[in-house]
Structure 1
Amino acid sequence: MEQGPIVIVGAGQGGLQAAALLRQSGYEGELTLIGDEPGLPYQRPPLSKAYMAEGNADALILRAAEFFDSKAIRYLPETRVHAIDRVSRRVGTDAGDLDYGHLILATGSSNLRPPIPGLERAMDLRTLADAERLRGKIATPRRFAVIGGGFIGLEFAAVARKAGHAVTVAEAAARLMARAVSEHMSAMFLAKHRDLGAEVILGDPVSSVVDEGVTLVGGDQVAADEVLLAAGVRPNTDLAEVAGLVCANGIVLDGRLLTSDPAISALGDCASFPDPRTGRMIRLESVQAATDHARHIAARLTDKGDGPYAAVPWFWSDQADYKLQIAGLAQPSDRAEVVSEDVVLRFDDQDELTAVETINNAKVHMKTRRSLAGGEPVTADDARALIG
């Protein structure tokens, strides 16, 4: 079991979960959780959904202040970590230097900012402060232009349309959520958003943001009072890079979720790790992945398990009355088999199941998630039989 102090940089859901699980698993040493935002750690997924509709910030809080005292976790909000000294095992922070026996980096990700002139006029939706600002804009009728047709942009678009606002989604790719789902699911959600009354523009990227809205590469202009940037994220690796850790589309980890320095682990959006199924390096932007990473790291540091990370990825997105759930992880090239309007199976070139996409079908989602977690390849015939 790790004996020295443990420092966790990043107080999102993964970082907080790592701290809680370390205590739950029996770690009794010094434990510090550092976050750069004010207030208590909170959930991010509802920012573009429930919070945007209801505005209840208290419902986002993951743990009350008393939790940190009761578990002897030193929590440092609004604190920036500016350096890691790997030789002396010390991190430099705004609150002073902290020694560590083991360091966990949970630095997350930040909005990708394409080189679009005028982008400083656009709003972000990454933090609670971002969400509070954006929610203030939907109090009165507005025209919104959303740059990006991924989960966040579409979730906000659905909420804004329900509130009666005019919404235009501009997606540079030829279809919605192209990195995450099959063509069938893209088409289903395109139809849903157009039915909601949103204008969706595909394959025509935004070339500039202007006072009147946005201009597209094709020359058309979209009139808007407010512009939301939702064009993807980038991993926050600056701290790790300056410290000399190996980084490539994230902080590079081995199968145990250790960095190139065995005294440092990483988790969540900032981490690039081997896919348990293929061995290919992947980076997942998912609360569930961050939570699973935290569980694995806490088990390793408390001698409760030291095998390779093997959790099955899963994702979800709520858009109007559609709940998209994805069990597993498909590549864009994986074959899609449309079983029904609400179920799509994905298969690799060996005809093994890689993912299952569903809409409002929790039963199939859970059955296939359990099957993928079984450790054995799931054949096409097995997958079809599983969903009946």
Structure 2
Amino acid sequence: MNRALALTELGQSLWYDNIQRSLLKNGGLRAMVERGEIRGVTSNPTIFMNAITKSTDYDESMRAMLMYRDGPEEIFFHLAIEDIAAAADVFRPLYDSTQGGDGYVSLEVSPRLAADTAGTLAQARSLWKRVNRPNLMIKIPATREGLPAIRDAIADGINVNVTLIFGLERYNEVMDAYLSGLEKRAAAGQALDRVASVASFFISRIDSKIDPLLDGRAAGPDAARAKALRGRIAIANAKLAYAAFQALTASPRWRALAARGARVQRPLWASTGTKDKTYSDVLYVDALIGPDTVNTVPPATLSAFLDHGTPAATLTTGVADARAALAKLKALGIDLDAATAALEREGTQAFSDAFNTLLQAIAAKTP
């Protein structure tokens, strides 16, 4: 059974949450695409940190850059752009054959810019120009300061992968930023049909945050109710996000843009590797399958799904149960909004820390 193909037939694309120069050089990435296993690639500072610091794949390129006397951050972006451009070329036939429906490769702006709207937009424009591939997506975090940059990047015609979305309120703001960018672009007389975007909604980290809070009620009178919610909140949250997406795409505001050729901003399920080993290793894939969505998976999760995942339309089932689960969580005194706000802060900091570690490693390798 070709599970990846079955997902595609259900309207969901599997992307690969990983990049490594050796995969590009040895043909491994191309082989995965040709087998139909993946339809895009995402990267982030942590992925690049692991790729660069835990291998010698990049040492030759770094030594070659010494003559330019660039600092560690510029050296990093040189390296990243080489990988991202090469990966985009691997996916270009898929991008062309789907008329821009798939085949995207994502590169993130510096996490140091998460609170800098102008800096984020300037770097998004610079990276878009430097990579110079139509199937590039620039990743911009869904921080408060990131939202205007997302809007203006879309208005510029830059494909955007909005990252670090945890809560429903922020997700609604992200969808509004996308539509506002398209409206701004349309008002300027620019075409909408080749502007693409995904909204990366993080999944497993929510259960990693909420489950310990539920465990804290395991000894009290709410023990049974708390235990019943373990491992359910992340999926419930995502199902309600998808319901919000469906409501938006049924709205007159969206239909007016669609009539001008606009593409939907697909929800992308990120952080879908299972962190709690008592849960199924395909939990966050099997439970979130539906049309107009993407699931970006780390290597272990991809292997697990291709081996024993269950492709079935699950995203629109149990929505009432999802609402009930969040209501029960609230009744237990657990504030999901506060948890998702904390996750946004922690996620931003984690990427910033990884980026700093990466730059220190580059500095050590390029004295």
Normalised-by-shorter TM-score class? under 0.3
TM-score (structure 1 length as normaliser): 0.26
Q: Which has the higher strand share?
A: 1
By relative contact order (CA 8 Å, sep 6+), the higher-ranking structure is 2
TM-score (structure 2 length as normaliser): 0.27
